[in-house]
């Protein structure tokens, strides 16, 4: 809708005496297709108070996602998470939140002044943060009846899903609101090989990053509401606060165009699903680079656990250097490849070849422990030896073992307090005045107002050896 509208407008060749200052990019960026970078003049509607083409576009998106209302976001899922929490919790209100949440939840706590009651997902057999148990949510809601909402992430960055249907039933039995950060699940409604969307399972507010798993531009995202619990007017208010007053028509037009195309041409996802499942089947034959495959996971994420003491960084580097494949991320004993409907067969083929050859190389090296090959199987470039000090298989990857938070002050209060900077070893017992957030996956190991426990200090020391911080901002001791 919006895409076609802007396209028609451009055909009329009307000269732009309006923002943006690049004037369709013609003189300064002739190679960039900047025509769609528009502004809100007559007929172009207004994202923050839509009445025309943007309203109709959002209504079409709501039909695709089965939402009561959908909102296009131009400041990423981050802005949706902030607006969602602020729309439900005010200063001092309690929110039950999964501690393995993305940094945007902590920003939402800071802006809203909400008081977090943290809970933790189960750890999977391979040491990843997995599903949130509905019973734990029930138990905590009984203990904290004054919580206004429950916030959790499903799927996680690595693709682990929670049983949203059961969690929603628990949350609603307590008459609370369920907010699901589904940033990594925008593709779920488009094919049955993916888990059902959180919205279809009863969540009240969900947030999708379109740019993560669908062919959309970076920063584009959606917020959906359904049922009678979420307050659309309060959300609109906070979305206006959390987002730019100059929303990009490039982002919005691409969102419209992509979602329309995917919903009309179902063959696109059929082809992707078939190629993905074939790729997964071949990769599952590998032994030393194990493709995790279990129910409760999003199949679009190819999550590899690497055996034999080799690291994720090693796999990432080998694949980039020798097979021209760049992974999404690597951890100490694992690595992650992200796929999407825009993937091409040649990409899947390169990945399969690289991972399978490297897996076989580890097996050969394992059989001859003192005779690990210096040469790479793909060519004669020197390969990397695995580091010796990495966790044995099956132990939780430290990237995933979130230490228990000890919240001394809410993030809002902590951010307003005087701070000082101390050496890491002097920080134990003190309350942090800043975020320490390894990226990816962008989950803070320490947030403002949280105490530096011995366990957290150990993690910070480990991060320091990997180039992390040697000093930390802590809240000044005011004798309170
Ligand atoms: C789980 C999760 N939620 C939210 C976000 C924020 O998304 P965005 O980059 O679209 O603001 C991310 C980004 O990495 C994420 O992983």
Separation of alpha carbons 18 and 41, rounded Å: 8
Per residue in 429-479, pLDDT (tens digit) is: 999 999 998 877 888 999 999 999 999 999 899 888 888 889 999 999 765
pLDDT the model gives residue 442? 86
Q: Give CA 421 to chain center in angstroms.
A: 30
The residue whose CA is least distant from atom 7 of ligand 1 is: 77
| Residue 160 CB less than 6 A away from ligand 1 | no
pLDDT the model gives residue 400? 57
pLDDT the model gives residue 332? 83
| Residue 183 CB less than 6 A away from ligand 1 | yes
Instruction: List the end-to-end C-alpha distance of the chain, in Å, as a whole number.
Output: 57
Distance, CA 14 to ligand 1 centroid (Å)? 38
Domain at 2-264: CATH code? 3.40.640.10
Separation of alpha carbons 423 and 48, rounded Å: 45
pLDDT the model gives residue 18? 80
Fold for the domain defined by 267-367: 3.90.1150
| Residue 129 CB less than 6 A away from ligand 1 | no
Q: In which residue ranges of the chain is CATH 3.90.100.10 found?
A: 411-475
Separation of alpha carbons 415 and 449, rounded Å: 8
Domain at 411-475: CATH code? 3.90.100.10
How buried is 352 (Cβ within 10 angstroms: 0-12 exposed, 13-18 middle, 19+ buried)?
A: buried
pLDDT the model gives residue 311? 92
Q: Give me the helix-helix angle, 103-112 and 76-88, nearest 10°.
A: 40
69 phi, psi to nearest 5 deg: -150, 140
Separation of alpha carbons 208 and 187, rounded Å: 9
Separation of alpha carbons 87 and 158, rounded Å: 28
| Residue 442 CB less than 6 A away from ligand 1 | yes
Angle at Cα 183 formed by Cα 291 and Cα 434, nearest 5°? 100
Q: In which residue ranges of the chain is CATH 3.90.1150.150 found?
A: 267-367
- C-beta of residue 451 within 8 angstroms of C-beta of residue 430: yes
- C-beta of residue 340 within 8 angstroms of C-beta of residue 300: yes
Separation of alpha carbons 69 and 330, rounded Å: 37
pLDDT the model gives residue 329? 92
Separation of alpha carbons 10 and 360, rounded Å: 55
| Residue 154 CB less than 6 A away from ligand 1 | no
Per residue in 390-441, pLDDT (tens digit) is: 333 344 454 556 778 899 999 999 999 999 999 999 999 999 999 998 877 8
- C-beta of residue 229 within 8 angstroms of C-beta of residue 69: no
Pairing of strands 205-209, 177-181: parallel
Q: In which residue ranges of the chain is CATH 3.40.640.10 found?
A: 2-264
Pair of tokens at residue 467: 């180039």
pTM assigned to the model? 0.91
Q: Residue 202, Cβ neighbours under 10 Å: how many?
A: 18
| Residue 221 CB less than 6 A away from ligand 1 | yes
pLDDT the model gives residue 480? 56
CA-closest candidate to residue 1, choices 51, 76, 42, 61: 61
The count of C-alpha atoms lying within 13 angstroms of the C-alpha of 140, restricted to the half-sphere facing its C-beta, is 24
pLDDT the model gives residue 13? 83
Segments of the chain scoring below 50 in pLDDT = 369-375, 377-396, 398
pLDDT the model gives residue 376? 52
- C-beta of residue 402 within 8 angstroms of C-beta of residue 99: yes
Pocket test for ligand 1, best of 79, 132, 155, 212 (most atoms within 8 A of CB): 212
**Collapsing DSSP states into helix, strand and coil, what is residue 338?**
strand
Pocket test for ligand 1, best of 183, 239, 242, 441 (most atoms within 8 A of CB): 183
| Residue 272 CB less than 6 A away from ligand 1 | no
Distance, CA 123 to ligand 1 centroid (Å)? 21
Atom of ligand 1 nearest to the CA of 221: 10
């Amino acid at each position: 809708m919006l895409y076609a509208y802007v396209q028609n407008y451009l055909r009329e060749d009307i000269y732009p005496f309006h923002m943006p200052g690049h004037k369709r990019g013609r003189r300064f960026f002739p190679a960039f297709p900047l025509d769609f970078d528009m502004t809100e003049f007559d007929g172009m509607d207004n994202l923050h108070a839509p009445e025309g083409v943007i309203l109709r576009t959002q209504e079409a998106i709501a039909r695709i996602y089965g939402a009561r209302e959908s909102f296009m976001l131009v400041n990423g899922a981050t802005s949706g998470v902030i607006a969602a929490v602020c729309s439900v919790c005010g200063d001092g209100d309690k929110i039950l939140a999964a501690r393995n949440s993305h940094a945007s939840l902590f920003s939402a706590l800071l802006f809203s002044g909400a008081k977090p009651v943290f809970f933790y997902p189960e750890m999977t057999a391979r040491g990843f943060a997995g599903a949130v148990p509905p019973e734990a949510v029930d138990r905590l809601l009984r203990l904290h009846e004054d919580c206004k909402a429950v916030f959790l992430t499903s799927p996680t960055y690595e693709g682990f899903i929670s049983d949203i249907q059961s969690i929603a039933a628990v949350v609603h039995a307590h008459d609370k609101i369920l907010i699901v950060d589904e940033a990594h699940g925008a593709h779920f409604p488009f094919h049955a090989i993916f888990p059902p969307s959180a919205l279809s399972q009863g969540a009240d507010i969900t947030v999708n990053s379109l740019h993560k798993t669908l062919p959309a531009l970076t920063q584009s995202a959606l917020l959906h509401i359904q049922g009678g619990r979420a307050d659309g007017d309060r959300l609109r208010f906070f979305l206006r606060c959390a987002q730019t007053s100059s929303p990009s028509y490039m982002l919005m037009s691409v969102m419209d165009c992509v979602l329309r195309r995917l919903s009309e041409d179902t063959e696109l996802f059929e082809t992707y699903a078939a190629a993905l499942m074939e790729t997964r089947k071949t990769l599952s034959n590998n032994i030393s680079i194990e493709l995790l495959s279990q129910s409760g996971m999003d199949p679009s994420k190819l999550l590899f656990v690497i055996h034999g003491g080799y690291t994720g960084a090693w796999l990432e580097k080998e694949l980039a250097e020798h097979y021209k494949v760049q992974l999404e991320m690597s951890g100490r004993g694992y690595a992650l490849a992200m796929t999407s409907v825009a993937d091409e067969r040649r990409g899947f083929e390169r990945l399969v070849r690289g991972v399978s050859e490297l897996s076989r190389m580890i097996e050969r090296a394992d059989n001859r422990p003192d005779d690990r090959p210096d040469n790479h199987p793909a060519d004669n470039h020197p390969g990397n030896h695995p580091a010796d000090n990495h966790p044995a298989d099956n132990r939780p990857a430290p990237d995933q073992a979130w230490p228990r938070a000890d919240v001394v002050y809410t993030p809002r209060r902590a951010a307003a307090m005087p701070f000082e900077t101390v050496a890491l070893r002097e920080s134990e017992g003190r309350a942090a005045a800043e975020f320490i957030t390894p990226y990816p996956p962008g989950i803070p190991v320490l947030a403002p107002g949280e105490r530096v426990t011995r366990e957290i200090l150990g993690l910070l020391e480990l991060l320091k050896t990997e180039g992390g911080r040697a000093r930390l901002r802590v809240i000044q001791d005011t004798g309170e």
